[in-house]
Amino acid sequence: MPARSPGFILSLSSVLAVLFLFLPGQALAERTWVKRGWGQMANQHLELPDGRSITIKLRSRKVMNVQAIILKQGRKLLWRRYFSGDYGALWLYVFFVPIKRNNQYWYDVNGDGDLEVAIVPYDGGRFLHFVTAIIFSVKPNYLEYVTSKKFRLFQGRYVYP
């Protein structure tokens, strides 16, 4: 077996130190941030102006990446769908973001008469500056996928200008 050079061992130990010290700390900070409800990750319930509501719920504590999006009118269930790996994202943490400036969480973006909402699935593996919002149109009895749009969460704070 060939002998390893001291530079190889030093670089390997540096990589391992970064993996074991930095990454778990970042993940712990993100989990704490979510658990305490800081920032926009706390936005998991939305009341629409017509009395309907949209709620994002974790399906089960045993299966962390399955989220339910529920549309209700009062206590009446209109629509429910479970999401896990849909639209190219892992649905570990899911939250609403403003779709327009001035903290507007619903807006008729495409002019079709139905409101649109923006939902961000976050998997904990990327930093939160660049995220992809999934835009849904709120139909009378269901939500319909419209598009996905990348934006800067902390600098833009809303999806469409």
Note the CATH number of domain 40-152: 2.40.128
Percent helix, strand and coil across the chain, each to the nearest 5: 25, 35, 40
The alpha carbon torsion through 115, 120, 89, 111 (nearest 10 deg) reads 20
pLDDT at residue 75 in the model: 94
Note the pLDDT tens digit of each residue in 85-125: 888 888 888 899 899 988 899 999 999 999 999 998 877 66
- Helix and strand numbers (H, E) in the chain are 2, 8
Q: What is the mean pLDDT of residues 140-156?
A: 87
Q: What is the mean pLDDT of residues 55-75?
A: 86
Q: Of the given ranges (17-21, 56-60, 121-125, 154-158), which has the lowest mean pLDDT?
A: 17-21
pLDDT of residue 13 exceeding 70, the answer is no
Whole-structure pTM over 0.75, yes or no?
A: no
d(CA 49, CA 30): 32
d(CA 86, CA 114): 22
Domain spans, the chain: 1-36, 40-152
Q: Phi-psi category of 14—alpha, beta or left, where left has phi over 0 and alpha has psi -120 to 50? A: alpha
Confidence of residue 6 (pLDDT cuts 50, 70, 90): low
- What's the alpha-carbon Rg for the chain, to the nearest Å? 20
Q: Please name the residue that has the structure tokens 């706390």.
A: 42
Note the pLDDT tens digit of each residue in 20-43: 444 444 444 344 344 433 455 667
β-strands 93-97, 115-122 pairing: antiparallel
- Percent of the chain exceeding pLDDT 70 equals 66
pLDDT at residue 25 in the model: 42
pLDDT at residue 52 in the model: 97
pLDDT of residue 81 exceeding 90, the answer is yes
d(CA 42, CA 46): 11
d(CA 117, CA 106): 5
